[in-house]
Amino acid sequence: MAQNYNDTIHKMKTPFEMRAGLPKKEPRMLEDWQKNHVYEQMIKNNEGKPRFILHDGPPYANGSIHMGTALNKIIKDIILRYKNMAGFCAPYVPGYDTHGLPIELKALGSLGDKKNEISQLELRRICREFATEHIDLMNSQFQRLGVQGDFDDPYLTLKPEFEARQVEIFGKMALKGYIYKGRRVVSGAPKTRPPWPKPRSNTARTPAIPSMSASSSPPTPTACWPRPACRWTGPGS
């Protein structure tokens, strides 16, 4: 009979399995975190300690997460976990950008040939529905990565109170003289007609158009592409 060499080794007895089996273990572990309110307990235990606030630049709510948004959230989660273990109270409120051209493009793409038949008011409604229906999806995907935070109450740029705060801050900037009427370079987006929001230089030039900007001094006038108003972009974009 063959020798069973396992019987000749003094091995430590432990319930820890040799195989990781993470695809099966991780969902159970995350479920246990939620069931026992691990994040909420951590913040409660850190009450009274110096606050550390990480202002989360939100991703667009226009589909499933990707490598960029996943890396972004994982790095922030590492920083916040460290701060919470290093003597700080570091809560995390995730957010979602629910305005802007990326959402409009995805919403228009879902309409097919009907996109040329809808009104601007109907497009705004469709974009709002498209953005809100992806919030729960992205919430669940970020939590599946192990990211901890207040995912039950994320901040959304389409909420009236958020937009009102944006207008309030813009008003304060205007009263302090930070808003001026000038000119800027805006690149065109031939595929979508509305240009991308960030200014970039172009070789082709057309007559410049006025633009509202915030700065301490007026800019030097330059030529730029004509800029149609984005039909969905709002104060929170």
Domain, as residue range, for 146: 27-156
Instruction: Report the distance separating Cα 158 and Cα 225, nearest Å.
Output: 28
* Cα–Cα distance measured from residue 188 to residue 126, given in angstroms and rounded to the nearest whole number: 24
Count of domains observed in the chain: 2
What is the per-residue burial (b if ≥16 Cβ within 10 Å, else e) of 60-74?
bbbeebeeebbebbe
User: Strand 95-96 and strand 155-156: pairing?
Assistant: parallel
Q: Is the dihedral of CA 160, 163, 165, 170 positive or negative?
A: negative
125 and 97 within one domain? yes
Is 6 a member of any domain? no
Q: Is 233 helix (H, G, I), strand (E, B) or coil?
A: coil
Question: For the stretch 181-213, what's the b/e string if a residue is b when 16 or more beta carbons lie within 10 angstroms of its beta carbon?
Answer: ebbbbbebeeeeebbeeebeeeeeeeebeebee
pLDDT at 152: 92
Domain boundary among 156, 176, 194: 156
Any idea what the CATH number is for the domain that residue 115 is in?
Answer: 3.40.50.620
- Per-residue pLDDT tens for 104-151? 888 888 888 888 888 888 988 999 999 999 999 999 999 999 999 999
pTM of the model: 0.70
60 with 165, same domain?
no
pLDDT at 217 over 70: no
Average pLDDT over residues 154-183: 92
